Amino acid sequence: MKQFQQYTNWIICLDPDSRQIYSTNGDIIIIETHVDPQYKQKCENALQDMDYILYNHENVAHWLQDSSEVEQYRRRNIPSYLLHPQQQQYRRYLVESNMGFSFSNIYTIKFNIICQCQNDLLNGKETKIEFNLMTSADEAIQMILKQLQNQQSNPPQYILQVDGYQEYIYGEQPLLQFTRIRNIIRDSQVLNTILIDYLPSSNFDYPPIYLRAKDNYDLIGDWKKYLEIPVFIWYPKQKIVNQQISILKQNRIVNDLDFIYSGQCDFYFSFKIIKIDHLKNLFESDFDRLGKKRSTYNGTTKLNNITKNQPSKINKNKDILMFHRKETQQDEPYIPIRYLSFGGVENRNYIKQIQSLFNLNFEPFLISIEASLYYGDKLLTNSSVIESQLIPFSFTPTFNASIKFSQIKYSMLPLEVKLCFRVLIYSCHGESQIVGSTSMYLFDQNSKFKQGLQTLNLWPFYDINPKIGCFQDFKGEINLDNIYKRCRPKCYSYLSIKMDCFSSQLKWSLRDQKFQQFHQGSLKDCLNVKHYADLVRSDPQLQKQIETKKNYHYVKDQRIQFDLDKTTGSIMSQNKRKGISILQNIDSQRSSNFSQLARNSLNNFLQYFISNRLTSNYYKENSDRLGLAYPYKDIDQTPKTEDLAYLQTLLSATSLDRVHYSQLDKFLLMICRHHYKTLPYALQLFLKAVNWADPKQVREAHQMIKEWIPLPPQIALILMDSHFPDEIVRLYAVDRISLLSDDELSLYLLQLSQALQFEKNIYNPLGELLLERASANPFQIGQEFFWLLKSQLNLKPSFLRYFIWLEQLIMICGQFRETIVKEVRLNNLLIESSLKIKSKQVGTEMQQKTDALKKELQYITQNVVQPFTFPIDARMQIASFDIDQCKVLNSKKLPLKLYLKSYQKSINQQINQLQVIFKNGDDLKQDMLTLQIIKIIDTIWLDSGLDFKMKPYKVIATDDQVGMIEVVLDSLNISEIHDKIGAFGAFDEKALINYLHQQNQNAEDLNRSKDIFLRSCAGYCVATYVLGIGDRHSGNIMIKSSGHIFHIDFGHFLGNFKIKFGINRERAKFVLTPEMLTVMGGQDSETFRQFEKHCLDAYNLIRKHGRWLVDLFLMNLTAGIPELQNAEDVRYLQDRLALNLSEQEATMKFRQEIITSINDKWRRVDNFFHTLKRKG
């Protein structure tokens, strides 16, 4: 009988470390030594592109990437969810989300079609057809062919191309699902398309796959078929050595007897602070003369946790033993010998020099270390901060101090708890300054406790930032012998601490948790955000071994013996919390940390106070008195009627107000949890009420996640903030977010990219979800995700994380890598050109600078391979610059206005051009956030049936203080209209209505433009009011001939209005000038009343989503946005939303704001002066 040969798939990979080409099936690596020279060159080119993209940044070459976590992440098995077929040759941009209720009465769309194909019977023909929106794209093509030549063909033979863009319409999806068609519908336009031949690519599927017979390890011989396939780059599981075949170690079953668990350790957490080594290196790493190489240099972004040049704090309660010799010599303190630094009195003069040498706030005399335990961005408990003893200052201070957290036991430690340290120096007068900090998670990425000696590199002049999970070891550059060199570990200033050592490896667990055996290694390999495999396994033989195991272990140094409860499965291994399926295995059995007698006494204590409550303010009035009892209250007691009455007050609070919740407020949220678990938004309130140092409450929190009503993805997004570090909570949130379609996900990439900083580990569900989506849809998700990460590489605290994810994206993205390298090269060349234009060498006149720009653009055209794309819009391939039209704008930062010619032939010549403003010197992150929120607000309105014709143009940051802005075609700012009128154009009430008359000669077109003006004016009045947009002069308000009015330049928001020479330039909260009222027919017209109604409806709709919008802003506190540095900055947004008012009260409030804006005479004066300034 004939036997069939079995074959397995082997992925052909390129190792970026050894630059070797290898094939792997996951378990075995075969180094391919007989590689075709052409393929070798292809691989070398791919590595050069990757190096150029990643390492062409001033921070990259000065950061050590040697951590075991980074190495483990890079060398993980190739996840199947990151393997996607090659990007389609004919790109389609689809929308899977529902279309807003505003378009429910629109059923058709009109197409203009011109044929450009090889068929002589079709080529050159034109036609116009109106399609039903539910018609599939392939059916529409059939209808076109039938109308043109009375015949049908297979749909793949022809496809439709959007005029002027690399964007195509074909397939089984209805026309309604194409992004371009939705945009056309909203603007009531006709879609221009080109019917072209469908020429399928000859490329093989990506990544390159080789079929190899089972147990056959022959080398690949035929490489020709792989020459057209993009190179797949991946670090092998093991480092490649000089051998042909490397068999990886198989996963092994972990014996539970090898571990003990933190939930079993019922003694207090402690450790020992030993010393600081090379403290002088910490000071030297931030010499001012180092410039951009300083450790505190984060580009132009000012981080609020930098402590250098910040005011000192006075610590009056510190026992600093300093005495003054005489009243006349108070500036020269007498210090007892035992409190002097090394060298005794002779060292006094050197201490004096330290202040000026290192630019400190004072002369350092004493030094101490403050240790704290953080959970997320909050202290684990109120007793989680301990400071060591004060010792004399020196560059090698030795403490040998034992730190014991007397109220925190090992069994209370959450998996995500972080141990943070501050290094403080003191003056003789009690002044203190933080000169360094560091932190580490007590449990590593494998849930193992970090035992024994630990050395932590100190961040020079940084305070701890508990929000950022990746703020751990400092791996930046320091100066050695006045020569910049790459860091080496011995060059850092580092803190040495000694953790408790156990007889076996300590792993995390909840107290009294029943453990189950798991397959080591499969957890990470199965981390797929779309599917979570069941990781739990059973082994009866191992269970039998456990029963015979002695039920105690020892702590080596302290020799503490503790008994283990056999009934709770004490020594059995637990499953690492990495999958939703694990939620099903959490033991819901509740346990107590105190005796039943204490519980009964406490219940009597609580019921006494609850029964004697007189008012609804009882909780607030007694929160301080009862707060100490909170950790011991029974969260399973039944809430009383008055508890439920007060619950509504707690549920209505915003995130800014929840910080004032008392312990009793949180207790009330806990006992009432089953009464509001049907409210999606209330889950975050419940999670904030949980005491994460109480294992019972942690277990209950995980149980409630299963019982809670499923969260909409948009609300689950808030659970990715730093307030929620629990891995199961974050995994649940990612599971809900993964339900978003690509077009919806792209809307929230700004918040999701920030949330990556809050993750404990590099390898996390959110990062894998974004990599999966970015690699599957590179031009809709991948491109924006890439630039969001790259533009923040100037921030040192998050640099390593962002760099590693960038590296991962570039390795797996295939042909998209070629697009990215062109965009990066173009961006770098434009940066160099803009710097040259700003220099005085090219002259100071604007014409001289424009002439210099044209020469620079000629050079750029020669050094960038055509066609290329701009990061602002990858749908349009660029052939070249329209150099004659490009110019330097007369603005402070001298932005460049670039006119680009499309590579695609176009029917409409206006479409054949893309206009972009390139800025070097302005932080565009604030503009990006503002425009994102405007898009979200617009979506809210559309879903409710209100279309305010908003125009949120595209803005993208490409580097520190560098970015690009889309120019909306056929638009000009109102200041230009004033200029054409004359010197007093700003006071002409007919300026705008006359402009619309000139642009719309037809009565129907004029009426349509007035309606669009009415709607867009209402939308932007409400949006700019809520967001507190400042600097709203006529130069920052644009108008299109179609009547669209929209705002630009959001350099000031959240109420940061401009004041000039002590004069408040913006006295009304939004712009509504007499010339705008004239377009509406005046204040007494029916049109104005319609405008007022639009404003009121729009305002109240936003208010319904107010708490969510506040939370979206709070997620961007770590983005380095100048006017969004702390939570109180968002208070303005909350106040403008007036969430404490009823809808009727809010309506009256906004109606009064409209009247205030109409009566504001200063707005026109401000526009007048702005016009004069532009002319001058």
**C-alpha span between 220 and 863 (Å, rounded):** 37
pLDDT band for position 257 (cuts 50, 70, 90): low
Which spans in 652-694 are helix H?
A: 655-658, 663-671, 683-689
- pLDDT score for 708: 96
pTM of the model: 0.87
Q: Which CATH number fits domain 259-308+321-502: 2.60.40.150, 3.90.1310.10, 3.30.460.10, 3.30.930.10?
A: 2.60.40.150
- pLDDT score for 153: 62
**C-alpha span between 881 and 830 (Å, rounded):** 12
Mean residue pLDDT across the chain: 81
CATH fold label, 101-197 = Ubiquitin-like (UB roll) (3.10.20)
Please give the average per-residue pLDDT across 699-727, as a whole number: 95
Residue 344 clears pLDDT 80, i.e. is over it: no
Please give the average per-residue pLDDT across 1065-1084, as a whole number: 89
Please give the average per-residue pLDDT across 979-1003, as a whole number: 89
The region of weakest confidence among 330-334, 754-758, 772-776, 898-902 is 330-334
- pLDDT score for 542: 35
| Residue 1096 token pair | 């009121």
CB 679 within 8 A of CB 651: yes
- pLDDT score for 652: 87
Residue 89 clears pLDDT 90, i.e. is over it: no
- pLDDT score for 551: 32
More reliable by pLDDT, 276 or 249? 276
- pLDDT score for 839: 87
Residue 609 clears pLDDT 60, i.e. is over it: no
Residue 952 clears pLDDT 80, i.e. is over it: yes
Q: Is 928 helix (H, G, I), strand (E, B) or coil?
A: helix
Summarize pLDDT for 861-887 with one digit per residue, the tens: 988 888 889 999 888 889 889 999 999
Please give the average per-residue pLDDT across 592-620, as a whole number: 35
Summarize pLDDT for 153-204 with one digit per residue, the tens: 665 689 999 988 889 999 999 999 999 999 898 887 899 999 999 887 655 5
Summarize pLDDT for 356-367 with one digit per residue, the tens: 888 888 888 899
pLDDT band for position 634 (cuts 50, 70, 90): confident
| Residue 803 token pair | 């760099």
Omega cis (within 30) before 208: no
- pLDDT score for 890: 86
Q: What are phi and psi of 431, to 5 degrees?
A: -70, 145
Please give the average per-residue pLDDT across 30-56, as a whole number: 92
Residues above pLDDT 70, as percent of the chain: 80
Highest mean pLDDT among 84-93, 490-499, 1009-1018: 1009-1018
Which residue shows structure tokens 């194909």?
Answer: 117
Summarize pLDDT for 1011-1066 with one digit per residue, the tens: 999 999 999 999 999 999 988 888 899 999 999 999 999 989 998 877 665 566 67
The region of weakest confidence among 56-65, 170-179, 1092-1101, 1158-1167 is 56-65
Please give the average per-residue pLDDT across 694-716, as a whole number: 94
- pLDDT score for 536: 25
Q: Give domain limits for the chain.
A: 7-85+205-247, 101-197, 259-308+321-502, 506-532+544-577, 969-1175
What percent of the residues of the chain are helix, what percent strand, and what percent coil, each to the nearest 5? Answer: 40, 20, 40
- pLDDT score for 462: 94
More reliable by pLDDT, 890 or 917? 917
CB 1046 within 8 A of CB 930: no
Question: Which class in CATH covers the domain with range 969-1175?
Answer: mainly alpha
CB 525 within 8 A of CB 77: yes
CB 1082 within 8 A of CB 1070: no
Selection from 749, 226, 805, 243 nearest residue 470 by Cα: 805
3-state secondary structure 881-919: ECCCCCEECCCCCCCEEEEEEECCCCCCCCCCEEEEEEE
- pLDDT score for 412: 92
pLDDT band for position 592 (cuts 50, 70, 90): very low
The region of weakest confidence among 425-429, 594-598, 752-756 is 594-598
1049-1069 burial, b at 16+ Cβ within 10 Å, e below that, comes to bbbbbbbbbeeeeeeebbebb
The region of weakest confidence among 466-470, 942-946, 1056-1060 is 1056-1060
Please give the average per-residue pLDDT across 616-626, as a whole number: 38
The Cβ-side half-sphere exposure at 301, using a 13 Å CA radius, reads 28
Residues above pLDDT 90, as percent of the chain: 52
The region of weakest confidence among 336-345, 1068-1077, 1091-1100 is 336-345
pLDDT band for position 602 (cuts 50, 70, 90): very low
More reliable by pLDDT, 447 or 583? 447
Please give the average per-residue pLDDT across 814-827, as a whole number: 93
619-647 burial, b at 16+ Cβ within 10 Å, e below that, comes to beeebeebbeebbbbbbeeebeebbeebb
Environment class of 1102 (CB within 10 Å of its CB; exposed 0-12, middle 13-18, buried 19+): buried
- pLDDT score for 347: 59
Please give the average per-residue pLDDT across 711-733, as a whole number: 95
**C-alpha span between 256 and 805 (Å, rounded):** 34
Environment class of 465 (CB within 10 Å of its CB; exposed 0-12, middle 13-18, buried 19+): buried
| Residue 104 token pair | 């429910």
Please give the average per-residue pLDDT across 578-582, as a whole number: 29
- pLDDT score for 622: 39
Residue 570 clears pLDDT 60, i.e. is over it: no
- pLDDT score for 689: 93
